Structure 1
């Protein structure tokens, strides 16, 4: 079976329906965490000897770890409502970053060589706080999120902030597709508890440590950006897209080369395709990565 197109899974994950997170249990975080830990620890015999810590932060970390490791299977409505309320409380504490208030690259670097720079934004921060219409997740070929508790990858961060509904949607898509996601392809789901309404999931190339970057790997990374733009362009309400630095984390793609590919591919795609995009955000997490992108934009 070939890679699944949007029209084959969109209705199954209710993509066109706006998700409204529950606020019913808002500002009752500690109570919610205690209740959810009790439920999740009883799900498996493997957790019978797990001791619940007394400290709030440690309890919250345990809850995140359990959800990270939990397979994609339905949770009850009340449990999801409590998780929604917890995640919305935490989002309020972190704060939402508004795309419309960020400077464009054209403002930042007025004499850059990219003709689409009035649509480009370079932003350093946590992508799960960004209110772009869609954010891009650097997924793996299984497309179900990262099952390793607390793993420092963007896949883990996005699934943790969105909630378990995101993994359920991914499971629905992959069960229907019946094959692993190909490198350079993309899928889309709702964003659930994220400020972004949608999440684009793409699988970037893996560059093993100590190996030389190949032409094929460069093409695969460019394909990730093109696939995300093409998929987002099928949905009229997506006018802003935030890209993470795909494949530059644990997948090992050299950061400078990846940034060149990202910027040039997006610029060229926008030049060659009719689209409704207003802003494209290049999101980086570290100051070093920000400087890498900035160097490319400098004339």
Structure 2
């Protein structure tokens, strides 16, 4: 897993969409189109006893089936070269498959290729150690005597958000909403799409096509999580900062957090939610200012909506990000 899990870059290779209109598409307008409430179907059965050796075999099968895919030239490769790489060492073969799926635009794979990719991703999910969000300590438990509002429903956790067994995770998306198109880029957008698989990009494409516009800053959309342990993914666009944040930037970042919480509340099955650190990566929002803002915004929402969510996790990946949140938790009084 890459060291930096922060906002993804602007998807330079994503299909272009026109500027957003005055309002974003409501959930009711796309919920059925992406089968949001249907269970994720995993069409290819995988062995009960998962092993790295089985995963390697699935990766090689997937690469061979994808060798004629139109996305192969985007990596500067030919079909025969991709087939040769399928026989390379396991680490190289998996990196090539991940890179190919990263640069591949939305659109259907052949049935055999989809089954092969699903088999890889399903087995990877089962080989990873997942973290049950309900087993993590709350702020109230980890910070005894904390007077922070909603401390009993908040958790600060450092780790890989793609391993969280939670009802929904938040992805720091770009306005194209299709994920990061840079192979192996160390951003959370890329990590989430890589773990979830190409069906996630297809869902996002369906949503953004129905909207007919790029995703406005401070809003959110929701999809299923597919091969993630999280059942759903909330995709939000935070502000891009050049220099110091202005008051409008702070409001846009707070709006992104509120949009995710409001949208999660529309889906009855969502009781637990994990946020990544929105806008603090390449989008440039200073961590020292984003953390207390996120805490205030999430806490205020939980207080205003008692009982709607059981747990909200504030997820960080780097030790310095954790330190910023710990400082904010010790300094932020109740509202």
Shift in Å at residue 91 of structure 1?
2.0
Mapped to 2, the partners of 1:37 and 1:23 lie a distance apart of 16
Mapped to 2, the partners of 1:114 and 1:157 lie a distance apart of 31
- TM-score normalised by L of structure 1: 0.95
SS for the counterpart of 1:246 is coil
- Whether 1:37 aligns to 2:100 is no
- Whether 1:73 aligns to 2:107 is yes
Partner of 1:17: 38
**Residue of structure 2 aligned with 1:97, choices 131, 138, 151:** 131
- Whether 1:7 aligns to 2:28 is yes
Q: How many residues align?
A: 297
**Residue of structure 2 aligned with 1:280, choices 302, 307, 312:** 312
Describe the superposition over 1:128-154 as per-residue Cα deviations: whole angstroms up to 9, x where unpaired. Answer: 000110000000000001111001110
**Residue of structure 1 aligned with 2:324, choices 292, 295, 298:** 292
Describe the superposition over 1:185-213 as per-residue Cα deviations: whole angstroms up to 9, x where unpaired. Answer: 000000000000000000011112xx121
Partner of 1:246: 278
2:195/2:228 contact within 8 Å kept = yes
Ranges in structure 1 where 5+ consecutive residues have no aligned partner: none
Mapped to 2, the partners of 1:32 and 1:85 lie a distance apart of 7
Mapped to 2, the partners of 1:196 and 1:131 lie a distance apart of 5
SS for the counterpart of 1:21 is coil
1:233/1:275 contact within 8 Å kept = no
2:59/2:94 contact within 8 Å kept = yes
Shift in Å at residue 287 of structure 1?
1.2
Mapped to 1, the partners of 2:59 and 2:291 lie a distance apart of 39
CA gap of 1:197–1:84, structure 2 versus 1, over 3 A, is same
Mapped to 1, the partners of 2:263 and 2:280 lie a distance apart of 22
Higher relative contact order (CA 8 A, sep 6+): 2
2:220/2:236 contact within 8 Å kept = yes
Ranges in structure 2 where 5+ consecutive residues have no aligned partner: 1-20
Shift in Å at residue 223 of structure 1?
0.4
- Whether 1:126 aligns to 2:152 is no
